[in-house]
Amino acid sequence: MSRHRLDGPLYYEVMGPTDAPPMFFVHPNPMDSACWIYQMAHFSTWYRCIAVDLPGYGRSPRAEPGLSMTDLADACWDVLDEVSDSGAVLVGCSVGSYVVQHMYHRRPASTESLVLSGAGWRETKAFPAKRIAGYQEHGIGYRYGYTLEDFSSAYRGTPMADWFATLFSERNSTADVGSIIATFEALAEPDPEWLQRDLKAPVLILTGTEDGTHPASGALLERLPNAELVAIPGAGHACQLEQPWRFDAEMIRFLRHHGQLPAI
């Protein structure tokens, strides 16, 4: 069996000073690392910013059947080990928010804090089956319309939303549906009870009020021992793209509060 049930190491991009502490970004489905374009540009002022593509997203390798959240978390830590040996701020949206929670439990001492967006908690997860069915019916072309679903209704009809959806779907020729489905199958497994209960690092939950996950964000807050929640009015699931000025300002406030915003 290959390492972490992947055909090779994850693709990643890096921006920021080589001697700065790391900030690690994990994207939502159906996007890729480019969904952090604003945050990579901004937070590289203070951090060594690293954004990965999850398995099957064109520039990363394919996943084997039986992929687990632990496999994804360990593959992400492999990337961080190549870039830095310092404690990291972990940032994830949607699928990425689950990945970074599992990353914390693999190496809690190496995790400074977490920022979770497009994130919530429900006893039963309905979304993996829905998305698996969408990919099975429509193939990789499902990504364009799915990207637009990640935006609020107001933003969805803008040229910028179309630009982002086109950007991600233009990479479809090297993406892999089977690997994307394998990720959703891993997500479909029930969350371990310890996933939130034993997550001791500071957590910021950022939620768009127009996100379908927004009603479940309060339940996630209640399960985390050291967390705060901030709602971004009018934003959808990918609130880091719709309102980066608000998203970034809340992150900066949070990091400064916890003494984790480096001086420059």
Cα–Cα nearest to 70, from 113, 117, 104: 104
- Rg of the chain over CA atoms, in angstroms? 17
Q: Check: CATH 3.40.50.1820 for 3-257?
A: yes
Looking at the chain, the whole-number percentage of residues with pLDDT higher than 70 is 99
The angle formed by the CA atoms of residues 104, 59 and 13, to the nearest 5 degrees, is: 55
pLDDT-derived band at 58 (thresholds 50, 70, 90) equals confident
pLDDT tens digits along 130-157: 999 999 999 999 999 999 999 999 999 9
- The residue-averaged pLDDT of 191-220 equals 97
User: Above 70 in pLDDT, residue 57?
Assistant: yes
Residue 99 contacts residue 92 (beta carbons within 8 Å): yes
Output the CA torsion 218→130→97→120 (10° steps): 0
| For residue 215, cis peptide bond before it (omega within 30 degrees of 0) | no
Write down the domain spans for the chain: 3-257
pLDDT-derived band at 65 (thresholds 50, 70, 90) equals confident
pTM of the model: 0.97
- pLDDT value for 4: 87
